[in-house]
């Protein structure tokens, strides 16, 4: 009874927030954050909301981004963003995942799932992390439907889809329409987003494409094929015209680091209408893996500092999956906050960790989340006190090797094992070099701040 009442109360939050949308202002955004803070029972989420309120109060570029979102999204996309992502995933879903499910089932489900329904792709980019998966395999529509249904039952309403190229699967539009209470984020090369596809995405309202770029035209076309950059720019224009939420995705390499974090590229994205830019460090997996493409430890730290500055200047959300480990307290893989289900149904700890012990075709989502493999990874988290070194692939690689060996995890495609075999010495050398930099940064810039945060949370 209490749970049902809380759910109805939080559902009402969507209507309240929607009533504020036509009158976007600093005062209304601050009011919305106070309302959201009262609704969540998870202190960590309250802290995030208070931080967001601080951005609005000091007229940070985040305010301009929020205003652009409300002004430029279509009414349907705006409504789905608020109801599905902020209310279902972050308010109602968080209470269910972090309070109700641990009491009922003894574990906390992840905030999101990453599903790759296909590995088929219309491009063949060198170094693609997914390039060595079998291209003809794919998860059936019914299986994708089943997994998302099970996820919602556990309070997970945020689903990311990757690949392969998601738009080679036209049936995914049926999935997005059916699960209209979920918010979907897609990683795509963008080449199939014509005006008709953009229109269909607006009709769904709950789908946000993140389009891959390597940098400007020359670098993008060199890796992705002649004409790709111009096609992607047109795709962004189609999405903006349709009022669809979208963003960009960059893979950081030793060769493109400064270009993808330049003022020019981010100003171009803002001009095209992108609201988000995700940064992923190149990991030597997939097609033709090479440690020589990995950003140097010095470059990785440069990007951390560079994005901190850019966040104070640009009206676009910038997320760095490695350097932002501080904000999420280390690694989020292994079911702590997400897992990856690949196109063969193998359940991997993360998109870049190509090992598994279970297949979703044979087991429920609840069962695969509680495998010995996933639990071994979660028990080891955080792998180090320094959250700037969060990754079991390249920062603390013994964690992955031990879990793979003890739980008899299998490589999910030919050659995946090279990360823990052939490349072992190179990865260890990288980890030592980066930790030497990151540990000094942690001691001087983060440790005291993190200690104060932990004490505050314990006091509450």
Choose among 394, 402, 455, 405: nearest CA to 429: 394
Residue in the structure block whose two tokens are 């795509």: 188
**pTM, 2 dp:** 0.89
Confidence of residue 345 (pLDDT cuts 50, 70, 90): very high
Max Cα distance, the chain (Å)? 60
Task: For residues 204-216, give the mean pLDDT.
Answer: 97
Q: What is the pLDDT of residue 54?
A: 75
Q: What is the pLDDT of residue 127?
A: 60
Confidence of residue 18 (pLDDT cuts 50, 70, 90): low
User: What element of type H or E holds 304?
Assistant: helix 297-310
Between CA 37 and CA 45 the distance in angstroms is 8
User: Cβ distance 199 to 154 under 8 Å?
Assistant: no
- pLDDT beyond 60 at 2: no
**Three-class secondary structure assignment of 395-414:** CCHHHHHHHHHHCCCEECCC
Between CA 416 and CA 308 the distance in angstroms is 34
Confidence of residue 240 (pLDDT cuts 50, 70, 90): very high
* pLDDT tens per residue across span 133-171: 565 669 999 999 999 999 999 999 999 999 889 999 999
Mean pLDDT (the chain) is 88
Q: What is the pLDDT of residue 130?
A: 56
Q: What is the pLDDT of residue 121?
A: 79
* pLDDT tens per residue across span 91-115: 889 889 999 999 999 999 999 999 9
Confidence of residue 126 (pLDDT cuts 50, 70, 90): low
Task: For residues 215-239, give the mean pLDDT.
Answer: 95
Residue in the structure block whose two tokens are 């893989």: 333
Q: Tell me the CA distances in angstroms from 326 to 95, 174, 296, 382, 433, one per residue in order.
A: 23, 37, 20, 11, 19
- pLDDT beyond 90 at 58: no
* pLDDT tens per residue across span 177-188: 999 999 999 999
State the helix-helix crossing angle for 61-72 and 26-39, rounded to 10 degrees.
90
Q: Sign of the CA dihedral 79, 84, 88, 90?
A: negative
Q: What is the pLDDT of residue 53?
A: 78
Between CA 274 and CA 201 the distance in angstroms is 15
* pLDDT tens per residue across span 257-310: 999 999 999 999 999 999 999 999 999 987 788 999 999 999 999 999 999 999
First to last CA, the chain: 26
User: Cβ distance 154 to 128 under 8 Å?
Assistant: no
CA 178 to chain centre: 22
User: Which of 3-12, 32-41, 430-439 tops mean pLDDT?
Assistant: 430-439
User: Cβ distance 181 to 84 under 8 Å?
Assistant: yes
User: Cβ distance 244 to 221 under 8 Å?
Assistant: no
């Amino acid at each position: 009874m209490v749970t049902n009442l809380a759910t109805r109360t939080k559902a009402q939050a969507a209507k309240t927030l929607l009533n504020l949308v036509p009158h976007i202002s600093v005062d209304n955004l601050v009011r919305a954050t106070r309302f959201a803070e009262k609704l969540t029972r998870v202190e960590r989420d309250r802290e995030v909301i208070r931080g967001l309120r601080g951005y609005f109060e000091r007229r940070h570029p985040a305010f301009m981004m929020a205003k652009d979102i409300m002004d430029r999204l279509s009414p349907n996309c705006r409504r789905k963003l608020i109801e599905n992502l902020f209310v279902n995933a972050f308010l109602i879903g968080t209470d269910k995942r972090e309070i109700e499910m641990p009491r009922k089932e003894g574990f906390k489900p992840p905030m999101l799932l990453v599903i790759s329904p296909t590995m088929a792709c219309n491009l063949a980019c060198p170094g693609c992390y997914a390039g060595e998966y079998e291209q003809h395999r794919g998860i059936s529509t019914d299986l994708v439907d089943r997994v998302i249904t099970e996820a919602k039952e556990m309070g997970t309403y945020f689903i990311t889809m990757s690949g392969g190229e998601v738009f080679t699967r036209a049936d995914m539009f049926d999935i997005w329409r059916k699960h209209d209470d979920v918010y979907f984020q897609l990683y795509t090369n963008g080449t199939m987003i014509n005006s008709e596809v953009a229109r269909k995405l607006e009709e769904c309202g709950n789908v946000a494409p993140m389009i891959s770029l390597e940098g400007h035209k020359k670098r993008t076309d060199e890796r992705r094929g002649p004409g790709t950059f111009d096609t992607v720019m047109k795709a962004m224009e189609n999405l903006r015209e349709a009022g669809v939420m979208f963003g960009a995705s960059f893979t950081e390499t030793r060769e493109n680091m400064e270009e993808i974090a330049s003022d020019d590229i981010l100003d171009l994205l803002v001009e095209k209408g992108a609201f988000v830019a995700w940064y992923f460090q190149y990991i030597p997996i997939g097609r033709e893996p090479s440690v020589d493409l990995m950003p140097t430890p010095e470059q990785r730290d440069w990007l951390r500092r560079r994005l901190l500055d850019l966040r104070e200047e640009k009206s676009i959300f910038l997320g760095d999956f490695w350097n932002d480990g501080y904000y999420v307290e280390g690694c989020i893989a292994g079911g702590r906050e997400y897992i990856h289900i690949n196109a063969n149904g193998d359940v991997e700890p993360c998109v870049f960790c190509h090992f598994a012990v279970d297949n979703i075709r044979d087991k429920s989502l609840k069962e695969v989340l509680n495998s010995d493999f996933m639990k071994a990874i979660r028990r080891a988290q955080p792998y180090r006190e320094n959250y700037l070194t969060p990754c079991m692939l390249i920062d603390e690689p013994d964690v992955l090797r031990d879990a793979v060996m003890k739980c008899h995890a299998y490589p999910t495609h030919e050659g995946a094992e090279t990360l823990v075999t052939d490349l072992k010495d190179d990865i260890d050398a990288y980890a030592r070099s980066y930790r030497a930099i990151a540990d000094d940064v942690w001691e001087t810039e983060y440790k005291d701040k993190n200690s104060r945060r932990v004490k505050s949370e314990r006091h509450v």
